[in-house]
Amino acid sequence: MSDIRSLPPTAPPDPGGITDEDLLAGLAAGTLDALDTLYERYKTMAFGIARRITADDVLAEDVVQEAFLGAWRNADRYVAGKGSVRTWLLSIVHHRAIDAVRRRRPTTDLPADDDGSLTPAPLTMPDVWGEVSGRLDREVVLAAVATLSDAQREAVELAYFGGLTQVEIADRTGVPLGTVKSRVRLGLLALRRALEGHAPEGAT
């Protein structure tokens, strides 16, 4: 039988002294510790989003792993002026999750990459947006969502968390496409108005 030696354990990075941008630079440089820290920082949000969209814990974990690997491989594509690292990362999770639920539908025919996964649009495309007022408390956002009409909230959530296209939303809700578009637009504008002026979490 072999003898086993072990290296001394390495102290974990100090999350308090490392910004998300620092971590992303670490990802771009291929530093596993940076990925580990970023994962620890956002795993619960990422998994929460993926699970909300997929309603499947196993699929949600697949989505989270794909999303973090996408960030790992493409960290150098992050554009600082187009939103925070947090938003960029969670947008990747969101896109991946939507792709996953659409791929799961038997009627959906989506192109796939060589490895079978869809191209993570947020890595390369202009689909990542900044924040209305910086990072907001969850209760604040929930209160803002509550200001939407039921029809607006339904349309927005069927799209954003249900992964339905406008055609599918129209079928589901029994309203014309134009009405779907209008409800989503008005819902988002109402949400924005409700959020503007709120101080970001932790701001003074």
Partner 1 sequence: MSAPDRLTCDEIRDLAPLFVTLALDEDEMAAVRAHLATCGEPHPELAELGEAATALLDTVEPAEPSAGLRGQLMAAAAADLAEGRHPASATSSSAVSASPVPALASTESPAPAGVATPVGPVASPAPAPVVSLDAERRRRRPGPGWWLAAAAVIVAVVLGGWNLALQRDLSAAQAYRQGVNAALQAAGQPGSVAALLAADDGSVSGLGVVAADGTVNLAMRGLAPTTGSQVYSAWSIGADGKPVSLGDFTVGSDGIAVVATKGPAAAPGAVLALTLEPVGGARAPSGPIVAKGVTAGAAG
- Residues 59-98, interacting with partner 1 (CB under 8 A): 59-62, 64-66, 68-69, 72-73, 76, 83, 87, 90-91, 94-95, 98
- Indicate which single residue of 24, 85, 123, 191 sits in contact with partner 1 (rule: CB under 8 A): 191
In sequence order, what are the residues at sequence separation of 6 or more whose Cβ sits closer than 8 angstroms to the Cβ of residue 193? Answer: none
If one asks whether residue 184 binds partner 1 (CB under 8 A), the answer comes out as yes
- Indicate which single residue of 55, 80, 167, 203 sits in contact with partner 1 (rule: CB under 8 A): 167
Angle at 196 between CA 46 and CA 51, to 5 degrees: 15
Q: How far is the CB of 93 from partner 1 (least distance, A)?
A: 8
* Alpha-carbon gap, residue 203 to 171, rounded angstroms: 43
> CA of 73: how far to CAs of 11, 37, 104, 136, in Å?
25, 16, 25, 28
Max Cα distance, the chain (Å): 72
Tokens read off for 35: 């990925």
Q: Which residues 108-137 are close enough to bind partner 1 by CB under 8 A?
A: 110-111, 115-117, 121, 125-132, 135-137
Q: Which residues 137-166 are close enough to bind partner 1 by CB under 8 A?
A: 137-138, 141-142, 144-145, 156-157, 159-161, 163-166
